[in-house]
Amino acid sequence: SQQGEEDPQALSIQEGENATMNCSYKTSINNLQWYRQNSGRGLVHLILIRSNEREKHSGRLRVTLDTSKKSSSLLITASRAADTASYFCATDIGGNKLTFGTGTQLKVEL
Amino acid sequence: DGGITQSPKYLFRKEGQNVTLSCEQNLNHDAMYWYRQDPGQGLRLIYYSQIVNDFQKGDIAEGYSVSREKKESFPLTVTSAQKNPTAFYLCASRTSGSNQPQHFGDGTRLSIL
């Protein structure tokens, strides 16, 4: 079964707007990671947030983690057409392996 | 240029045939992983290896086999026992230590003839 579930499944916004994606998970984690996947390509790592961290930034990306609610959010500010992709959260619960969610498909329109 | 190379990009399998997907990395990573991705879905773990000559089953190992004879290479064989092999297959690697991300290849798309 999937450990992480992203919400929404699909999101369509205009260029320049902000995009927010959420991830919920079921068990305690060591860290949570966000990845991007362009159509037909492999995944690219975006941000890793540890279980003792609450917020992390990288360029236009902001990730929050609420371990009490077992949830995380990814915010992309000032979105661009090039941000169009699928975004996945993945949880590390130990054992050197990740469990991926089902993804959010983001479309940024000009 | 360091990275992970998967080949071929597209592969077709006939009924009853075994096929092998290649995954090579020059990142000097200890751990390597194989995932299966079906349309509109997330990734499911097939097999993973944390060190040379050792590997473990993931969540959907039935119908697949792997080997890890070299640190750089982790080939995946899709056997004839895998009745629904059509999918996008992704290989990843990771350095040792906690709180490390995985690095992915660009995938192999396998289809049935």
Q: How far is B45 from chain A (nearest CA, A)?
A: 8
Q: Which residues contact A76 (CB under 8 A, 6 or more apart)?
A: A18, A19, A20, A60, A61, A83, A106
Q: Which residues contact B97 (CB under 8 A, 6 or more apart)?
A: none
pLDDT band at B98; cut points 50, 70, 90: confident
Q: What is the pLDDT of residue A4?
A: 72
| Chain segment B18-72, per-residue pLDDT in tens | 999 999 999 999 999 999 999 888 899 999 999 999 999 999 999 999 999 999 9
- Before B8, cis peptide (omega within 30)? yes
3-state SS, A85-101, equals EEEEEEEECCCCCEEEC
* Mean per-residue pLDDT of chain B: 94
Q: How far is A15 from chain B (nearest CA, A)?
A: 24
Q: Report the alpha-carbon distance of residue B7 to residue B21 in Å, rounded.
A: 6
**Residue in A97, A99, A102 to test binding to B, most B beta-carbons within 10 Å:** A97
As beta bridge partners, residue A85 has A106
**pLDDT value at A89 more than 80:** yes
Q: Which residues contact A68 (CB under 8 A, 6 or more apart)?
A: none
pLDDT band at A1; cut points 50, 70, 90: very low
Burial B53-92, CB ≥16 within 10 A → b, else e: eebeebeebeebbbebeebbebbbebeeebeebebbbbbb
**Residue in B21, B34, B90, B99 to test binding to A, most A beta-carbons within 10 Å:** B99
Residue range A88-97: mean pLDDT, rounded = 90
Q: What is the pLDDT of residue B1?
A: 59
Q: Report the alpha-carbon distance of residue A98 to residue B32 in Å, rounded.
A: 12
Residue range A46-72: mean pLDDT, rounded = 97
**pLDDT value at A62 more than 80:** yes
Q: Tell me which of A53 and B42 has the higher pLDDT.
A: A53
Q: Report the alpha-carbon distance of residue B56 to residue A85 in Å, rounded.
A: 31
